[in-house]
Amino acid sequence: MSDTPATESDLTVLAAQLGRQPRGVVAIAARCVCGNPTVVHTAPRLPDGTPFPTQYYLTHPEAVAAVSTLEARGVMKDMTERLAQEPALAEHYARAHEQYLAERYALDDIPEIHGISAGGMPDRVKCLHVLVGHALAAGPGVNPLGDEALEMIRGHWTPTRCTCPALERDPDAPLSTDPDSLAQEA
């Protein structure tokens, strides 16, 4: 986990990304190579008292669009079927669910959502945005289906290349950390 505190600038970018004021921000769980938020770590109870199980919320517009395309293609149904057919995958996904819960319980254990993670974990795939957000926040190898979805969108979006609007980008930040892209930028 690489949570970093959210700055006022982060909150401004999040509002632009979401088209509304962000709620319950605990930290920024993953950032674009330019420094902008990609995943926000959200409190398990929003300021208005609403229980909120989605602690890793994907905010980067290009990532959200790419994942939405996967969802529209029916990838969630295929992944859910694989969970029933591949015991090792199901076990790994169940461990991701347990880690997700442990991280949320470290913030607070909300009775209304106790035992409920997000994205359909541990036995189905309901929301790829959550799984990708978790994969980006936790790092490779934690959420196998989030990692798979990241690989599937690599041609459209990758965390190693900035696709933020120019007005939101730090002018001194690199546009890529991908070695192939860095060679092309030079």
Do residues 27 and 3 touch, judged by C-beta distance below 8 A? yes
The pLDDT value recorded for residue 1 is 58
The pLDDT value recorded for residue 173 is 57
Cα distance between residue 104 and residue 117, in whole Å? 9
List per-residue pLDDT tens for the chain, 186 residues long: 579 999 999 999 999 999 999 999 999 999 999 999 999 999 999 999 999 999 999 999 999 999 999 999 999 999 999 999 999 999 999 999 999 999 999 999 999 999 999 999 999 999 999 999 999 999 999 999 999 999 999 999 999 999 987 655 555 656 656 554 444 443
The pLDDT value recorded for residue 2 is 75
Cα distance between residue 85 and residue 110, in whole Å? 33
The pLDDT value recorded for residue 157 is 96
The pLDDT value recorded for residue 182 is 42
The pLDDT value recorded for residue 185 is 43
The pLDDT value recorded for residue 167 is 53
3-state secondary structure of 50: coil
Q: What angle do CA 167, 40, 89 make, to 5 degrees?
A: 125
Written as one string, the DSSP assignment of 159-181 is TTB--S-GGGS-TTS-SB--HHH
Residue written as token pair 């900035």: 162
Cα distance between residue 166 and residue 11, in whole Å? 17
Total Cβ atoms within 10 A of residue 31: 18
Residue 115 CB contacts under 8 Å (≥ 6 apart), including other chains: 101
- Determine which helix (DSSP H) or strand (DSSP E) holds 69, and give its type and residue range: helix 61-72
Cα distance between residue 52 and residue 50, in whole Å? 6
The pLDDT value recorded for residue 60 is 96
Written as one string, the DSSP assignment of 122-158 is TT----HHHHHHHHHHH-TTS-HHHHHHHHHTTTT--
Domain ranges of the chain: 8-185
The pLDDT value recorded for residue 170 is 57
Q: Whole-model pTM? A: 0.89
Do residues 33 and 174 touch, judged by C-beta distance below 8 A? yes
